[in-house]
Amino acid sequence: MKKLLFFTACCLAMALGSSAQIPALDRVEPMFWWVGMHNPNLQLIVHGNNIAARKVELNYPGVKLVAVHKVENPNYLFLDLRIFSGATPGTFPIKFIKAGEKPLTYSYALKARNHSADRIQGVTDKDLMYLIMPDRFANGDKNNDSFANMREQGIHRDSMFSRHGGDLQGIMNHLDYLKDLGVTAIWLTPAVENDEPAASYHGYAVTDHYKIDARYGTNELYKKFVDKCHSMGMKVVMDLVHNHAGTEGYTIQDMPMKSWVHQWPKYTRSNFKYEAVMDPHASAADRKQMLDGWFDRRMADMNQNNPYLQNFLTQNHIWWIEYAGVDGLRLDTYPYNDPAYMAKWAVDVKAEFPRMTIFGEVLTPLPFTQAYFTQGNTVNRGFDTHLPAVTDAAVKDAIYEALNGNDGWDSGVTHLYDILAQDFMYQDVTRNTIFLDNHDMSRVLSVVGEDVNKYKSAMAMLMTLRGVPQMYYGDEILMKNLSNPDGLVREDFPGGWDGDKKNKFTAEGRNEKENDAFNYVRKLANYRKNTPVLQTGKMIQYLPENGIYVYFRYDDKKTVMVVYNSTDKEQTTGTARYNERIKGVKSAKNVVTGENVDLDKLTLGAKSTLVLDLANSR
C-alpha cells in the first residue's frame, strides 16, 4: 500500500509541477517553423510559470491565431496557428500579456523550406545501412565529454552502463572508413538529449525532443553531419521513439495534464506480447497492458490518444526532417504504440515528405506477425497502418537456423527457405530491413560460435537476399559478445579514442583474421553497391537438397547465383537442376576471389557460401 501511495503521489507531483522553479516563459516549441508546408496548421506548446494567466497576441501577415487552449496545468498553453499559403518568411513577436506586468515576448521565425532535389532521398534496397551508437563509436571532441548541468557526470569507459564519450564529430571523422567499406546509409541510435541520472547513453529515454544531446554535439553539428554524409554519397536514418520518454524531461516532470502519459494505480510494465494487439480473441486487459504499460521505470509511456501529445510528437518529427534533411526514419518499439495514431502519423509525415522512407522495429520470428503491422494488411484492424516496412527479424532468425541448425523437413536451412516463401504476405517485402544483429542482441560472430565460415556465409546472405541490408558497427572487424551479460554488445569501436591500444579503423591496427573479415565484407558490400541486380533484381530460390541451398538474384542484364552448403563437410554438387536460371552458362566469376568457377560441378567447404556472377563469364 505504501508503494501504491508513493507512486500515485509521484504522478500527481509530476502532473502539478513545481512552478516555482520554472521561468515565466521557459520555452515555445517548435522553436520556429516553415512557410509552404502541406499542412497549414501548427500547434505551439508554450511552457512557463502560470503562463495560462496571460492573454496571447500575435500579428503577422498570413498567420492567424486560431485558438488558445488552457489545460489542467497552468504552466502550459497550446496555441493553434494557421499559416496561409501567402505567408512569407520572417520573424514576428508572440506576446503573452498580463495586466499590470510587462508583456513576455517570444520572437517567432518562419523560414523558407529547402526544396533541394538531393535532400530527403529515402533509404531503399539500393542501400547498405550501418548502425552506430554514437556514444560507442568514436570521440571526436573531448570538450563535450561532460557538462556540469547534466545529471550524469564524466566518462567511464570501464563501465558498460556509463557514458564513454563518443560523439557526432567522432563519426564525421570516420566517414571515409564507412564509404570505403561500401556503406551508403548511416543509422544512429537517437542523438537527442537523454539527461537521465544513469545509463541513458543508448538514446531511448528522450528528455528534450528538440535538442541534440550536448555530449554528442549541437543541433547545428547534427545538420552538418547530415550534409557531410550527403556530400559523400551517404544517407542518414533518424531513430524516433514515439512510445516513451525519459522521466526527467520537462513534459514529464511538469506534465501538461495527467493524461499526457499512461497512468496506473501502481507501476505496471507492458506484457511485451504483440499477440495482444493482433489477437481477435484478446482480452481488453491484455491489450491495454501491451499498449499502455511502461517499458521501464525511467521511460514514461506516452498516451498517444491525447491530441496535444499527438501534435507534439508529429510536429517534432516533421521539424527534424525539414531542419536536418534526414533521408529515412526508424521507429522504435513500433507495436507498443497506439495503432490508429501511428497510421495517422505516417500519413502526415509522407504528406510533407513523399520520398521519406520509414521502417518500424518489430522483433518476432514469425513473418505473419511482422506483416500484420505493415501497410496493406487491414485484417482484424479496419484501417491501414501506412507503415511501409519493418525490421525483418524473422529472416534474421532463419539465417541463424540455417547456419546453426540441423537440416530437416522444417529446420536448418529449410527453415530459411520456408520463411522466404512467406514473402507474399507483404505489400512489398523489398522494403524490409534485413539484419543479423543490433545494439539489443548478440553479435553475429558470437551467435555462430566464432566460426568464420558461418560468419562469412551470414554476411553473404545479408548482402544478397532481398530487402535493405543493415550492419551493426564493428561486425566487419569481428567484434563479438552475447547480449547476456547485458551491455557487452555495445563495446567501443577500437581506435575511436585517443590512447586506444589498437586502431581498427586501419588495416595496420587489425590482425590477420580481422583484415580477412573486413576485406570480405568490403568486397561484397561494394559489389552490391555497384550491382543493381542485388538491389532491385528479382529472386528465385530452390528447395534445399542434401543441405545445399541455392537462390538467384536476376534481371534482364545480369544473374547472380548464391550457393550455401549448410553441412559440416565439404560437398561437390552438380548444377543441372538450376538450369532454369543458369541457362547454359558454363562458368561464373567468384565475386569474392575473382576466380572463374566451372558451373558443371561446384565444390563448397563446410558451412560456406559462394556468390557467383554469371553475366561476367559469358
Grid look-up 510587462 returns 102
Alpha carbon of residue 398 to chain centroid: 21
Q: What is the CA angle 573-575-578, rounded to 5?
A: 135
| DSSP string over 311-352 | HHHHHHHHHHHHHH---EEEETTGGGS-HHHHHHHHHHHHHH
Answer yes or no: are the C-beta atoms of 456 and 516 closer than 8 Å: no
Q: Are strands 32-34 and 104-111 parallel, antiparallel or unpaired?
A: parallel
Query: At which residue does the C-alpha cell 556503406 appear?
Result: 183
Asked if residues 214 and 193 have their Cβ atoms less than 8 Å apart, the reply is yes
**Whether 332 is catalytic:** yes
Q: Which of 29, 193, 332, 392 is catalytic?
A: 332
What DSSP line would sit under 283-315, residue for residue?
-HHHHHHHHHSBSBTTEEEB-TTSHHHHHHHHH
Phi, psi (5° rounding) for residue 367?
-60, -40
Query: What DSSP designation does 383 have?
Result: S
Question: Catalytic annotation on 301?
Answer: no
Closest CA to 117 of 387, 358, 354: 354
456 residue type, one letter: K
**CA pair distance 128, 456, nearest whole angstrom:** 17
- Distance, CA of 44 to CA of 30 (rounded, Å): 6
Closest CA to 533 of 556, 517, 566, 502: 556
Q: How far is CA 506 from the centre of its chain?
A: 27
State the sign of the Cα–Cα–Cα–Cα dihedral 372, 377, 381, 383: positive
In terms of Cα–Cα distance, which of 377, 370, 408 is closest to 391? Answer: 370
CA–CA dist 32, 35 (Å, integer): 10
Task: Provide the terminal-to-terminal Cα distance of the chain, rounded to the nearest Å.
Answer: 78
Count Cα atoms within 13 angstroms, Cβ side, for 465: 31
Catalytic residue among 29, 254, 348, 361: 361
Which residues carry out catalysis?
Answer: 332, 361
